Structure 1
Amino acid sequence: MTLIDWFILFVYLIFSLVLGIYISLKNHNEADYFVAGRRLNGLLAGMSMAATTFSIDTPLYVAGVIGTRGLAGNWEWWSFGLAHVAMTVIFAPLWRRSGVLTDAAFTELRYGGQAAAYLRGIKAFLLSVPINCIGIGYAFLAMRKVAESLGVVDGHIVFGPFTDTILLMILVALFLLVYTVLGGLWAVVVNDFVQLVLALLGAFAVCFVALDASGGMTDLLTKLEALDRPELLSLFPWTFNKNGFNWLDSSGISITTFFAFISLQWWSFRRSDGGGEFIQRLLATKDEKQATLAGIVFLIVNYLVRSWLWILVGLAGLVLLPQQTDWELSYPNLAVTYLPPVGLGLVVVSLVAAFMSTVSTSINWGASYLAHDLYKRFVRPFAGPREMIFMGQLASILLLLIGVLTALFSNSIGSMFRLVIAIGTGPGAVLVLRWFWWRVNALAELSAMLSGFFIGLITSVSPYFIIEDFGKRLLFTTSFSALIWLLTLFFTKPESDETLNNFVMQVKPPGPGWSKIRKKLNIDPVDSFSVLGCRFILGSGILYGGLLSIGAFLLHQERSAWIALSIAVSSVFLMKKTRLITQ
C-alpha cells in the first residue's frame, strides 16, 4: 500500500468516528440504543441487513469455496435463501407486530411462567456469548488474513507476547468500540449504509480488474475448462448430459450434504424465522410494511447483486494465482496484484467497511441480550434509561474482547462458519411452529435449543463423536434434537390460557393451530395459511430463478439461464396477478 492508500483509509476511519459520535446524541433510552427508536424505513434497515452479512470474511469465504469445491459449493450459504424468503414474506410482519426489543424477550410474550424466564436467560447467553463471539472471531480472522496478505503485518514479535498482528487487532477493536459503544444501533445502521456502498464498489473494482487480467469472460471460461475440474463451472454438484447423470464428487459435497442444505439446513437452523441481528432490524422499522420492504431489499442485495461479484473473483483467482495454497486469499491478493494506487486504497477501505459493519452489528446485537435480557430482566428490573445505555456499552466491550481472542485460535473461515451452523442446528422447527401452533411451550423450545447446541458441538469437535460428513452431521443433530423436544412437549403442560390469549391479541398469528383461540377472542388472522404458503413458494421462485439466471448468463450457459429466468418472471407475474403481496 502506498501513502495515498493509507490516507484514504485514514479519512474513512475519521469519518466513521465523527458520524458515530454525532449520532450518539440521538440516544435517550434503551429503545433508541438497541432498536433505533423504531424509526427505520425499509430501505435503510434492508441495506443494514445486507451490510451485516457482507463482512470482510465473506468474499474470502466464497473465494475459498470456489477454489476448493467449485461453484456448487456455494449452496452451503445459498440454501439459507429459503429461510430469508420466509423471513420476508411470512415472519417480518409478525415480528414487527410483537413489539418486543429482542427475540429473546419474545419468549416471555409467547410463553409464560418460570420456564419462559429460564429460556429467555439461557437463550440470551448462548446467542450473545459463544455463538455471537465465534462470528466476531471469524471476522477478525479474515481481517488478520487480509492484513497479512497486504503486507501490513507479518506476525513478528513487537514486545513481550504481543505480535504486530495482535496489536493491529487491538487497535481496530478500540476504534470500533468508540463509534459502536457511543452510537448504538443508529450509528451502526447509518454507518452500514455508507459501508455497504463502499463494499459493493470495492467488490466491483476487484471483479473488473480480475476479469480484465483474465482476458475477459470468454477467455476466463476457456482457461477454467482447461483445468479439467468440472465442478468449477457447475451450478449444481452434478452434471447431466448425453453421457447421463454424474454426481461431482470433486465438489466436496456428498449427496446427503447437498440435500441437507436444501431440505434441512435452512429450516432446522436457529435463524429459521429470521435470525437475531435481522430480527433486531425488523423490530427497529416503523411498521409492518417497512419490515417486509427491509427483507426484500436484503434479498436483492445479498443474493442477486453481490453473489456473482465474489464468485467471479474466486474463479479468476484460479487462473491468475495458480500457485496459491490458501484460496481464501484470492480476493486480497488479486487486489494487491492488479489494482493501482488509489484503487487499492478504495478496495482496502471497502474491506474495512465490510468488516466494521458486521462486527459493529454483532457487538450491538449481543449487548442487547446481555443488557436487556439478562441484566435488566434478572439483576436490575427497575434500571433507568441511562443505566441501561451504560450497561449496553459495558457489554459491548466484553463481547469484543472475547471475539478478538476467538480469532487467535483458528485459521479457516470456512471451518468456523460450519461450526456456527452445526451448533445452531436443531431448534429451527420449534422456532417456526411456535408462530403457528398453540401447543408449543417454553420447555420444548429450551430442550431443542440446548440439545441442538451440545449435539452440534460434540459432533463437530469431539475426536470420539465427530461426524465428518456435514450433511449426516446436520441430519443427526436435527433428528436427535427433534426426538428430545417432541418428548418434552408430550410430557409437559401447554402454556396458560392467559399467556396464549395475550399473544394472539398482540401478534394475530396465522394458521389453523390458533383457530380456536382466535374464534374465542373474535380475532381474524391478517393472512391465511394458504396465502403465506403461496408467497413463500413464489418468493423462492423469484429469488433462485433470478440468482441462477444471472449466473448462467455470465457463465454462457444460455439454456439454463433462460429456464431460470422464466421461473423468476413467472413467479413475479403470479405474485402480482394474485395480489399475494398487498402491503
Structure 2
Amino acid sequence: MELSTLDYSFIIVFFTIVLGIGFYVSKKSGKDSSEFFLSGRTMPWWLLGLSMVATTFSTDTPNLVTDIVRTNGVSGNWVWWAFLITGLLTVFVYAKLWRRSNVNTDLEFYEMRYGGKPASFLRKFRAIYLGALFNIITMASVTLAAIKIGGIMLGLEPWETVVGAGLITVTFSALGGFKGVVYTDFLLFFVAMAGAIGAAYYLVNIPEVGGIEALMAHENVMNKLDIVPDFSNRKALITLFIIPLAVQWWSSWYPGAEPGGGGYIAQRMLAAKDENHAIGATFFFNIMHYALRPWPWILVALASLVVYPDIASIHEAFPNIAEDKLGQDLAYSAMLTKLPSGLLGVVLASLIAAYMSTISTQLNWGSSYIVFDFYKQQVNPNATEKQMVAVGRISTVVLMVLSAGLALALENALQIFDILLTFGAGTGLIFILRWFWWRINAWSEITAMFASGIISILLKTTALGPLLFAETTGVFPDWAEYPFVVVLTTTIWLTATFMTQPESKDTLRSFYKRIQPGGPGWAKVVDEAEVDGEVIKKENEKWSVPQGITAMVLGCVLIYTIMFATGYWIYGRTESALWLTGIAVVSGILLIRAWGKMKENIL
C-alpha cells in the first residue's frame, strides 16, 4: 500500500504540532517535579477528561475490540464494559477522596493510610511492580498493535515501527512532562475520533461489504450482533456476562480500571483544580469511553468478517506478516488498507495519535512512580527538584526501550489482556474497602498482591491449570478459573488481615483527619478518639457514600442505555433504540439531581 502526498502531509503536520507542543511546554514542565508530573494541580475537568479518553484510545484497543468481536461477537465486549461500574464508583465515591489526599502519586497513599516498614515496603515494591513491570507490559501491548499496523499498512519491519513511533513519543514525553501529555491529548482526541469514525463509515460502505443493511444481514455477521449474550448458551452467558458483571468489576485490578481509582486515572484526579473538577473529568471520561467510542471499532470488526472471514484469509492477503504475529486482531489493520488517499492519511495520523497518547501517559505515570516512590524514598531522600526531573526524563527513556523490546516478542492483544486481568484477580476488593474499613492494613495488600500473582502464575504456567480447569477433563469447568483465583486470593488476604495487628491509632486518626471518609467502617476509630479527647471528625462533614452509590447506579443506567441505544440505532432497530433513548433521558435527569445533592456535601 502506498501513501499519497496528501497522506504524508497530514502525518507530517501532525508530528510537527505534537513536537512543537512538547518543546513549547518543556521549560515550564522542567521547573519542578510537581509541574513535570501534575502540572501544578491546576487542570480543568474538560481537559483532564479529554486526556483520559485520549489515553485509553490506544492502538491496541481497536485491535482488542476486533479480536473480541470476531471471536465472541459484540457481547464479548462485556469483559471490559463491566468496568464501567468500577469507573463510576471512582467518579462518585473516590474522586473527591483522591483529590483531598493531595499526594503526588497514588502510591504515596500507602504511607498515609498505613504505617511502619510494611507500608514503606509496599510503596517501594509497587513503584517497581506497577511503574516498571506492569507498565512495560501494557506499553508493549500498545507497541505490538503499532507493529501489526505498520506491517500490514506500510510493510514495515517490526523494528522499523518501534524505532519510528517510539522515538518521537519518548522525545516529547521526556521534554513536556505531564502538561505536554495533556495538551497534546487535546489534539490527539479529536484526530483519533475523526479517524475512527471516518474509517468506520467508509469501510462499511465499500463494495465488498455493501452498506449497513447488507452488513447486518450477512451470514458471517448475523450471529455476532447480540449486545447481550444468548441466554441459551450457558458458557457464553457465564464467561462473557455474569462473571464480568457479578465478580470481575470489583475484584480485579486492571490498568485504567482500578477499583477505587488508581494509576494514570488517579494522576489526573490529583492534577485537577479541586474535587468537583476531579469528579467532572472522570465522569466525562466514562461516558465517552463506554457509551460512544467503541461503536466505530465494532463496525469495522463486523465488516472485517465479510472481507476476511478467518485468519487464513488475512494471511493470504498479507503473506509478509510473520506467523507469530497472525491473529484475529490483525483484521482491523487489514481493513484500513482499503481506505482512499486523504482519509488514509487522517486514519494513520489518528492511529499514531492513539499510540502516542497512550504511551506518553504510561511513560509519565510510570516515571512518576520511579521518581517519587522509589528514587526519592529509597535512593536519594534529599534529591533536589532538578535531580527529580532529570531522573524522570531518564526513566522515561528506559521504560520506552524496555517496552519496545518486549513488544517484539508478543503475539496478540487479547492474550495480554487475559494475563493482566487474571494476574490482578482478587485484589480489587481491598482497593475499594481500604478507604472505608479501618481494619485493613499493609499486610492485607502485600498478601493479596503476592497471592494473586503466585496463584495466577501457577495456573498459567504449570499442569495445575489444565488439571483443575478444562472443558472436559478438568475438575472444574474452564470458566471457573477466574472466580477460583478471586475466592482463594480474597480468603488469603482476609485471613492475613485478622492474623496481623491493625495499624496504629496515630496512623488511623491522621488518615481520617485528612480524608474524612466517614461511614460505619471508621466508627470504632472515631469513637476511641473522642474517648481520648481528640476530635478527628469535622462537624459539618456528611457521609456521601450512599448518595454516591445512588449516583453510580443512575450513571450506569444512563451510560449503558446510551451504549445500547447507539447500537440499536446503527442496527436499524428503531423501536428498541427509542425506548432506550427515553430511559437514558430520564436517568440523566435523575442523575443531575443526585449529583447536585452530592456537590452540597463537598467542602
Q: Secondary structure at the match of 2:383?
A: coil
Quick check: 1:21 aligned with 2:38? no
Q: Residue 314 of structure 2 corresponds to which residue in structure 1?
A: 324
Q: Which moved more, 1:475-484 or 1:9-18?
A: 9-18
Contact persistence 1:419–1:457 (CA under 8 A): no
**Post-superposition offset of 1:515:** 2.9
Aligned match for 1:295, one of 273, 282, 286: 282
Q: Residue 236 of structure 1 corresponds to which residue in structure 2?
A: 228
Residues 429 and 248 (structure 1), Cα distance of their counterparts in 2 relative to 1, 3 Å cut = closer
Aligned match for 1:117, one of 120, 127, 138: 120
Distance 1:398 1:314 in 2: 35
**Post-superposition offset of 1:566:** 4.1
Normalised to the residue count of structure 2, the TM-score between the two structures is: 0.89
Quick check: 1:64 aligned with 2:67? yes
Q: Residue 484 of structure 1 corresponds to which residue in structure 2?
A: 492
Output the amino acid matched with 1:217.
I
Distance 1:369 1:577 in 2: 38
Q: Residue 2 of structure 1 corresponds to which residue in structure 2?
A: 4
Distance 1:191 1:209 in 2: 27
- Write the mapping of 1:213-252 to structure 2, written as runs, cut at 5 A: 213=206, 214-223=209-218, 226-227=219-220, 230=223, 232-238=224-230, 246-247=232-233
Q: Residue 506 of structure 1 corresponds to which residue in structure 2?
A: 514
Q: Secondary structure at the match of 2:205?
A: helix
Quick check: 1:555 aligned with 2:571? yes
Residues 470 and 57 (structure 1), Cα distance of their counterparts in 2 relative to 1, 3 Å cut = farther
Any idea what the Cα deviations from partners look like across 1:131-152, whole Å, max 9, x if unmatched?
Answer: 1111000111000000011133
Quick check: 1:194 aligned with 2:180? no
Q: Secondary structure at the match of 2:259?
A: coil
Residues 376 and 89 (structure 1), Cα distance of their counterparts in 2 relative to 1, 3 Å cut = same
Any idea what the Cα deviations from partners look like across 1:504-558, whole Å, max 9, x if unmatched?
Answer: 1111113211234446324254433321221221121112121112112222334
Structure 2: unaligned runs, 5 residues or longer: 316-326, 471-476
Distance 1:236 1:142 in 2: 27
Any idea what the Cα deviations from partners look like across 1:43-78, whole Å, max 9, x if unmatched?
Answer: 111111111111011111111111111111111111
Q: Which moved more, 1:367-376 or 1:573-582?
A: 573-582
Distance 1:314 1:458 in 2: 34
**Post-superposition offset of 1:166:** 1.2
Over the aligned positions, Cα root-mean-square deviation in angstroms equals 1.9
Residues 228 and 394 (structure 1), Cα distance of their counterparts in 2 relative to 1, 3 Å cut = closer
Distance 2:336 2:265 in 1: 31
Output the amino acid matched with 2:166.
A
Residues 528 and 15 (structure 1), Cα distance of their counterparts in 2 relative to 1, 3 Å cut = closer
Distance 2:353 2:553 in 1: 35
Any idea what the Cα deviations from partners look like across 1:241-271, whole Å, max 9, x if unmatched?
Answer: xxxx52276xxx3524532211111111221
**Post-superposition offset of 1:11:** 2.3
Distance 2:78 2:240 in 1: 10
Normalised to the residue count of structure 1, the TM-score between the two structures is: 0.92
Output the amino acid matched with 1:307.
P
Contact persistence 1:545–1:565 (CA under 8 A): yes
Q: Which moved more, 1:538-547 or 1:570-579?
A: 570-579
Q: Secondary structure at the match of 1:474?
A: helix
**Post-superposition offset of 1:201:** 0.3
Q: Residue 324 of structure 2 corresponds to which residue in structure 1?
A: none
Q: Residue 294 of structure 2 corresponds to which residue in structure 1?
A: 307
- Write the mapping of 1:41-440 to structure 2, written as runs, cut at 5 A: 41-153=44-156, 164-213=157-206, 214-223=209-218, 226-227=219-220, 230=223, 232-238=224-230, 246-247=232-233, 253=236, 255-256=238-239, 258-270=241-253, 271-322=258-309, 323-324=313-314, 326-337=327-338, 339-440=339-440
Quick check: 1:35 aligned with 2:20? no
Q: Secondary structure at the match of 2:521?
A: coil
Q: Which moved more, 1:275-284 or 1:537-546?
A: 537-546
Output the amino acid matched with 1:303.
Y
Residues 463 and 408 (structure 1), Cα distance of their counterparts in 2 relative to 1, 3 Å cut = farther
Output the amino acid matched with 1:331.
Y
**Post-superposition offset of 1:451:** 1.3
Quick check: 1:582 aligned with 2:599? yes
Distance 2:517 2:59 in 1: 38
**Post-superposition offset of 1:454:** 2.3
Any idea what the Cα deviations from partners look like across 1:396-435, whole Å, max 9, x if unmatched?
Answer: 1121111111111211111111111111222111111111
- Point out 4+ residue stretches in structure 1 off by more than 6 angstroms: none
Contact persistence 2:221–2:306 (CA under 8 A): no
Q: Secondary structure at the match of 2:340?
A: coil
**Post-superposition offset of 1:34:** 0.9
Q: Which moved more, 1:78-87 or 1:556-565?
A: 556-565
Distance 1:266 1:576 in 2: 24
Q: Secondary structure at the match of 1:324?
A: helix
Q: Secondary structure at the match of 1:234?
A: coil
Distance 1:428 1:40 in 2: 28
Any idea what the Cα deviations from partners look like across 1:376-410, whole Å, max 9, x if unmatched?
Answer: 01111110000000111111112111111111121
Residues 507 and 228 (structure 1), Cα distance of their counterparts in 2 relative to 1, 3 Å cut = closer
**Post-superposition offset of 1:471:** 4.2
Residues 531 and 285 (structure 1), Cα distance of their counterparts in 2 relative to 1, 3 Å cut = same
Distance 2:221 2:54 in 1: 36
Output the amino acid matched with 1:489.
T
Contact persistence 1:139–1:359 (CA under 8 A): yes
Distance 2:154 2:268 in 1: 36
Contact persistence 1:259–1:471 (CA under 8 A): no
Output the amino acid matched with 2:489.
S
Q: Secondary structure at the match of 1:465?
A: helix
Distance 1:177 1:137 in 2: 14
Distance 1:456 1:34 in 2: 33
Q: Residue 242 of structure 1 corresponds to which residue in structure 2?
A: none
Contact persistence 1:456–1:473 (CA under 8 A): no
Q: Secondary structure at the match of 1:368?
A: helix
Q: Between the two proteins, what is the percent identity of the paired residues?
A: 33
Aligned match for 1:515, one of 498, 523, 530: 523
Distance 1:138 1:75 in 2: 20
Residues 558 and 291 (structure 1), Cα distance of their counterparts in 2 relative to 1, 3 Å cut = same
Residues 518 and 560 (structure 1), Cα distance of their counterparts in 2 relative to 1, 3 Å cut = farther
Aligned match for 2:584, one of 557, 568, 579: 568
Residues 534 and 426 (structure 1), Cα distance of their counterparts in 2 relative to 1, 3 Å cut = same
Contact persistence 2:547–2:598 (CA under 8 A): no
Distance 1:299 1:195 in 2: 18
Output the amino acid matched with 2:250.
W
Q: Which moved more, 1:541-550 or 1:74-83?
A: 541-550
Distance 1:489 1:351 in 2: 46
Contact persistence 2:229–2:240 (CA under 8 A): no
Output the amino acid matched with 2:599.
T
Contact persistence 1:34–1:368 (CA under 8 A): yes
**Post-superposition offset of 1:563:** 4.4
Output the amino acid matched with 2:108.
A
Distance 1:523 1:509 in 2: 11
Any idea what the Cα deviations from partners look like across 1:196-251, whole Å, max 9, x if unmatched?
Answer: 1100000011011012223332222112xx33752x0111111xxxxxx52276xx
Q: Secondary structure at the match of 2:434?
A: helix
